[in-house]
Every structure is written in structure tokens, then in C-alpha cells.
Structure 1
Amino acid sequence: MCWFSIAKYLMWAFNFVLWLGGLAVLGIGIYLVAGDGSQYVQLGDINFYAASGSIFIIAGCSAFILGFIGCKGAKNESTGMLGLYFICLLVLLILQAGLGIWALCNFDSVNDAVTSGIEEQALDETATSFINMEQTMQCCGKSKGCQDWVDAEQDKPYGCECDSGQGNCVKISSLSCSSSFDLETDEYKFIYNDTCTEAMTELVNDNMKLIAGIGLGIGLFEIFGMIVACCMYQAIKEHKGYA
């Protein structure tokens, strides 16, 4: 009887944490899909990055449903619901492992994919998506900085302007490209020095490391949940056997 009560409390506690974890994973998924800079990942054609965010959203929503199934199974002492709960956790674990392997296989190609995608963008004063990306991600040009705007035969490095004091904000006069621009105002006195290829690659790499770390943590947590479900399953069988 004591073992049965402990197993039930463990099941409830685990599923409460599962609900909280699901909320956190859902939030991370939304951030990856809609957070600052994420809308520009499409310029780098990083398909697996966008897929990761969508899968995190699905996993977060699934956690709420699984938490309900687990608690309901423990409350009703239903071995059938606990069996379904175990199978769902196992399927999620396999899917996450597959995503992790897929992301790992694509990790080394991030820089190439970003470079290829960004180099395809046309640079002129009407390139609003690229200019907005420069301001959001605090970068300038494609892979050669302000020189890319010179190569595009533009009279200004559109979108590269910044305020003095920011980390990678430098005087345009200190850069070799400055003599090629028609700078009649102080608007472009300071511009971002980092290239957008560098900024985008750093964003994706940092978030992929976040995804990998959280995925590993969730995987270990799900394994623990499967163990708890097995213990609860066995405890119900023993409890009913002695009833």
C-alpha cells in the first residue's frame, strides 16, 4: 500500500513538472519561429532550424496532453492509459532523437547555407527585407561588410547606420569603403562592422546549441517519466492483486 501511494505521488509530481516543462518548450518553440531575427533565417535557407522550432511547439503542446493522460491514468488506476502514456513518451523520445541526429548532420553546413542564401539577395535602397535584417541583427552587407554596398554600386550602405557606443559600431571613416559613398549627412557617420553572414551564422549556431541542450534535457526527463510510468503500472497491478 505504501509503495502504491509513493508511485502515485511520483506520477502526479512528474506530470506537474511535465506541464511546466511543456510550457517552457512551447515558449522556446515560439521564440525560434517568431523571435527577433528568426524571420530572417529564411534568407539563409536554414530549413532544419525552422523545423526545429515547429517541432518544439508540437512537443510543448504534446506535454500538456501527456500530463493529463498520466494523471488520469494514475487517478483511475488505469493500466491501459498508463500504457498509452508510456508509448507516447517513447514516440516523442524517438522523434527528438531523430531531430537531434538530423540537426547534428546539418550543423557543419550552417555557414555554407547562410552564405549561399544571403549572397543571393540583391542590394539597393528598396531591399527592405535585407535592410531591416541589418538593423535587427546589427550587421552590414553580405560577407564583405560595407564593401558589398560599394560592389552593388550604391551611394550609401543602406541599413548599416548605428549609434556610437554599440559593440560593433565603428566610424565609417575608419573603413576602406567610406570613400566610395556620397555621405552628405551624419546619418552614416557610424555603421555596423560585422557582416550579416557572420551575424546570421552566430544566431543559428547559438540557437542550435540551445536546441541541443534542451533536447537532451527533455530526453532524459522523458526516460525518467517512462520509468515512473512503469513503476506506477506495476504498483497498480500489485494493488489490485491485493484488493
Structure 2
Amino acid sequence: MPAAVRKFRRETSEISCCLKYLLFASNVVLWLSALLVLSVGIWAWSEKDMFRNITRLHYIALDPAFVLIILGGVTFLLGFMGSVGALRENTCLLAAYAVFLSVLLIAEIGFFAVAFVLKDKGWIKNQATEGLKAFIRHYREDADQQNLIDWIQEDWLQCCGIDGPKDWDSNNYFNCSSIAIGSREACGVPFSCCRRRPHEQIKNKQCGYDVRKDGYGMELSKIIYEKGCVQAGEEWMEHNLIIIFTTVIAVMFFQVSI
């Protein structure tokens, strides 16, 4: 075959150089970010010795470290296929990348469509309730879950329990019957349920002690949040619906663009 013909065929098969390196650069950033998230998740799991403690896998899906591992792993694979496929102009990797991205996009659209359809039937509320129940039951058993629910109650929603402070009775440490075994936290709530006082520099970790005991002697609403986290979450979503919708559209647009 003449050299001119080979050169012409090679030139017509090449993709735009600008598009190639734009795709490569964006996926390298995605790949490195995913590597960081994956590393943090694996480190957190190893610190808790979860790789050997299989008995705790019954609530694995609620483990923030596990979520980081899954999210980091999927994104790492996606970024690797996109960056290497673009750099090497490998059609197999690029095809797998496109299919993988399309599946993720369809799954996200399907999830949000189902959530929107079932929102009035209580599906989202039921899922949130079941997740919070597990968080409350295992509050002292997993540091990551403990930090997560403390953040939800204190920093994000300013709430306490599922429907209110009484829900902490389902935790062995905060149950009122635990007074008999000497639990100092019995008939109380975690410190994250407490309202932050003006000019308070250091949070009082014992502020929730005894607040659910009969005859506590102080007005409860001034000490702790009495609103449940499910109701607080519903109100937060209603107030931030435009921001949530815009964020979802932006994420989907980014996925389509890369």
C-alpha cells in the first residue's frame, strides 16, 4: 500500500487533539480524586479492623467508610478507563468508558425518577427512618457512624432522634432501664442533641445527661432539640429544593460532557 494512502487513513482515524487531551485531563483529575477517596475508605476500614471482623457486616451499607470504598472504587475505574482510553486512543477502553458512564447516568435518572414518584407514598421517609434507627442502635459501636449522626443532629439539621429525643431509648446506653446497670448516659441523649449556648467555645459533652428523666427540672426545649431528624430533613429539602435540583442537573451535565 502506498505511503500516502496509509498516511491519509491514519489521519482520518485520529480524534481531535484538543478533545483528546481535554478528556484525558478531566479523567486524570477524576482518577486522582477517586484514588484519594478510596485510600481514605480503606484506611478507615483497616483502622476499625473491619476486614477481619465479618460479624459486623449486617449494617455494612450504613458504614461511611464502606460508602467511600464503593464510591472511590467505581470512580477510580471510570477515571482509569477514560484517561488511558483517551491517551492511547484505545477504542475498547473508550467504548467501555462510554457504556459505564451511560449505565451510571441511567441509574441516577431512574433513582431520582423513582424517588420523585414515591415521595408522596413515604418511600424516602421510610428509608431515612430505617437508616436512622440503625445509626441510633449502633451509636457506640462504630466511630464513623457515631460522628455521622452527631453531624446530622448538631451541624446539619439541628434535630434529635427520628421523631424526637425519646427514640434514643432504642440504644442500650441511653435507654432509661440502663440506670440499673450504672450507665451514666441512661435516660439522656448524645451531646449532639444539645443546643449550642451563646459564646460557647467548648461543647459540654455531658449536656444531654438525665434530660429525659421525670422531673428533670429544666425546660427541655432550651437544653436540647426536640424536633425529630426526619421532620427536620423534610423541611430542609423543601427549603433547598432548587439547590438540590440544580446540583443534580449539574452533576448529570458533567457526566454527559466528559
After TM superposition, the score normalised by the length of structure 2 is: 0.50
When the two chains are superposed, the root-mean-square deviation of aligned CA atoms in Å is 5.1
The CA deviation string for residues 198-224 of structure 1, in whole angstroms up to 9 with x for no partner, is 466769x999868834541233213xx
Shift of 1:25: 5.8
Structure 2 vs 1, CA of residues 183 and 135 (structure 1 numbering), >3 Å: closer, same or farther? farther
Aligned to 1:170: none
Show structure 2 runs of 5+ residues with no match: 1-7, 45-57, 177-185, 200-210
Aligned to 1:142: 161
Q: Distance in 2 between matches of 1:46 and 1:7?
A: 44
Q: Distance in 2 between matches of 1:193 and 1:52?
A: 31
Identity %: 12
Show structure 1 runs of 5+ residues with no match: 36-41, 74-80, 167-176, 223-243
Aligned to 1:54: 70
Higher relative contact order, structure no. (Cα contacts within 8 Å, ≥ 6 residues apart): 1
- Is contact 1:26-1:60 (8 Å) kept? yes
The answer on 1:219 being equivalent to 2:255 is: yes
Shift of 1:70: 1.5
Instruction: Tell me the SS of whatever aligns to 1:180.
Output: coil
Aligned residues: 190
- Is contact 1:29-1:57 (8 Å) kept? yes
- Is contact 1:25-1:60 (8 Å) kept? yes
The answer on 1:14 being equivalent to 2:23 is: yes
The answer on 1:180 being equivalent to 2:214 is: yes
The CA deviation string for residues 82-135 of structure 1, in whole angstroms up to 9 with x for no partner, is x22431232122221232134225533222111134346777xx9525865553
Aligned to 1:92: 100
- Is contact 2:28-2:83 (8 Å) kept? yes
Shift of 1:20: 2.0
Aligned to 2:194: 161
Q: Distance in 1 between matches of 2:42 and 2:128?
A: 17
Q: Distance in 2 between matches of 1:197 and 1:59?
A: 30
